Amino acid sequence: MLKTNVFHHLQFFRRVRSQGIALGNRRLYSNTSGTSPLTRSHVVAWVLTASLTAGITGYKLGHIGASSTFTPYTAPGEKPRFGTPRDFQLAVVELKRAFASDSEDEGQVSTDPEELERHGFSMYDYHPSAFHNVVVYPRSTEDVVKIVNIARKYLMPVIPYSGGTSVEGHTRGHSTGGICVDMSQMDAIIEIHEQDSDLVCQPGCQWMAINEALQKKGIPLFFPLDPGPGATIGGMLSTGCSGTNAVRYGTARGEWFLNATVVLPSGEVIKTRSRARKSSAGFDLTKLFIGAEGTLGIVTEVTIRLAPVLPTTVAIVHFPDVKQATEAVTDALNQGVGIQCAELVDDRFMHATNLNGMSMRKWPERDSVFFKFQGPSPTALRDTAQVVKRVVERHGGFGFTLAKDEKEAGNLWADRKNALFSTLALVDDPNVRILGTDVCVPVSNLPQLILETKEDLVRNNILFTIVGHVGDGNFHAAILFTTPTERVAVVEAVHRLVERAIALDGTCTGEHGVGIGKKQYLRSELGKGTVQLMKRIKESVDPLGLFNPGKLYPDDEDDEHKA
């Protein structure tokens, strides 16, 4: 076997040297005439591919005994080759055998139909369901290594699963089947370093549970990234999440994840860096896995940075239109005062809030902004509120309402957080469903994007509400439908929305991630060279293509971004 693989790699590099290597349908290098010119993106892709491939080759030749079967690499650009149904049956048997002695209740490996359905279907999105062959619940990094080695032996796809709250089909099974690795039993807080303002935890920890635990222990720190309830640290890292606090604290792509322990497709365990607050030692490999959506490795431990808990209060103000609201928020943020959140909601949202009846008051049905202020003292909060009030009134804001106390602040903010239930109140039909999507553009382009999107949805008789993290140009459209025909119209409207955002120098997703639902747009947004480089990294780290296949990377047959 060793000779076979050495021969394979020698032949590959000889072919490169004599004939050139094809990048997609283009040739990077050739010693014959009449070839297309060498481009900088091709050079970058080739250099990185060669370097990573050489490293992986050396690693594989040194660790070829890691599993009983080793399959030669998939050639660059070639689709992965997975095992047969018989292979997968054998893999499930081996998984059950591997975990039988370690499991007190033998519940770590499940082929129960209800479990398979729960992990292959999501109530949060409308992508086609695809079930896994088996669900495995690891309890340690060593468990994950076992799973990966068995998957590699039988060429079986591996799909990580965390909180299950993603909306772009990240955890769907592969069409050939696969192993769903549910990290929910790895949910421990391992260490809290209060003096260093950081915390080490397993990937199944929910961010809300972490903040509750810190509060109960009397530690005045919190983790500020706040996506949807139920989201876990592993999923948040893997999708590059953010939330309402992004205006003040940024996103997952900032320095909130200091390091990660990761099981690679080879079965090797790495730690991306130390716990030091900053480092300039080599590549920032932590960020390689942020937003990789489980396609490069499975995260089994994370060190997260914490922030001080500060007093907060909430205000709401109304505007004649979205443009003036956006300009007011930008102006307010430039004052340098303590704004933690700035949430834009449209007039339809305010109508839905009134209709829902959960609010403590009736609101003017106008485009509005919910502010959350923060500061070290009540005086600082009042000063911030006064500055923001003056600014928004200069931009046509009216009805500025500041919470009188902590209870009222909670009630005001609840009106923003109840967006889902308020939107559902627009339709009195038990079959109503919501398709939620998000895009992000430079803040100055947000008014145009929202205006054109609303005109499009109204023109097509589609019910919706809009909520935007206006401080960073990210907005969500919650779109309603009740019939399959309406669903088709909604999906088409989302396609137009994404195209519109990209045309405005924006992104197809501000915080939901790519998964299945948005991968077709990456070439249009990032360019072919960038996508090709992403694929080369994937092929180098995961040469068998086993980790979360079919997600994130555009299919080769995609023509730009077909719906």
Residue 384 pLDDT > 70: yes
What pLDDT band is residue 254 in, cutting at 50, 70 and 90? confident
Q: Which of residues 75 and 65 earns the better pLDDT score?
A: 75
Token pair of 258 as six digits: 């200091």
Which pTM does this prediction carry?
Answer: 0.84
Residue-level pLDDT at 163 = 92
What pLDDT band is residue 101 in, cutting at 50, 70 and 90? low
d(CA 253, CA 233): 13
d(CA 61, CA 81): 21
How large a percentage of the chain has pLDDT more than 90? 78
Residue-level pLDDT at 300 = 98
d(CA 181, CA 101): 19
Question: What is the per-residue pLDDT across 185-207, written as a single tens digit (0 to 9) for each?
Answer: 999 999 999 999 999 999 999 99
Residue-level pLDDT at 99 = 94
Beta bridge partners of 270: 262
Residue-level pLDDT at 286 = 97
What is the mean predicted confidence (pLDDT) over 3-17?
36
Question: What is the per-residue pLDDT across 469-525, written as a single tens digit (0 to 9) for each?
Answer: 999 999 999 999 999 999 999 999 999 999 999 999 999 999 999 999 999 999 999
Residue-level pLDDT at 497 = 97
Residue 309 pLDDT > 60: yes
Q: 155 vs 50, 179, 244, 245, 319, CA distance in Å? A: 24, 11, 41, 41, 57
Question: What is the per-residue pLDDT across 440-462, written as a single tens digit (0 to 9) for each?
Answer: 999 999 999 999 999 999 999 99
What is the mean predicted confidence (pLDDT) over 267-273?
98
**Contact of 158 with 151, CB cutoff 8 Å:** yes
Residue-level pLDDT at 123 = 77
**Contact of 502 with 496, CB cutoff 8 Å:** no
Token pair of 195 as six digits: 């003096």
Which secondary structure element, helix H or strand E, spans residue 351, and what is its range? helix 347-356
What is the mean predicted confidence (pLDDT) over 73-99?
87
**Contact of 318 with 399, CB cutoff 8 Å:** yes
Residue-level pLDDT at 64 = 35
Residue-level pLDDT at 340 = 97
Residue-level pLDDT at 74 = 53
Residue-level pLDDT at 129 = 85
Residue 91 pLDDT > 60: yes
What pLDDT band is residue 79 in, cutting at 50, 70 and 90? confident
What pLDDT band is residue 365 in, cutting at 50, 70 and 90? very high
Taking residue 219's Cβ as centre, other Cβ atoms within 10 Å add up to 15
What is the mean predicted confidence (pLDDT) over 135-155?
98
Task: Return the minimum-mean-pLDDT range out of 89-98, 369-378, 430-439, 536-545.
Answer: 430-439
Residue 174 pLDDT > 50: yes
What is the mean predicted confidence (pLDDT) over 333-340?
96
Question: What is the per-residue pLDDT across 339-356, written as a single tens digit (0 to 9) for each?
Answer: 999 999 999 999 999 999
Token pair of 464 as six digits: 């919706």
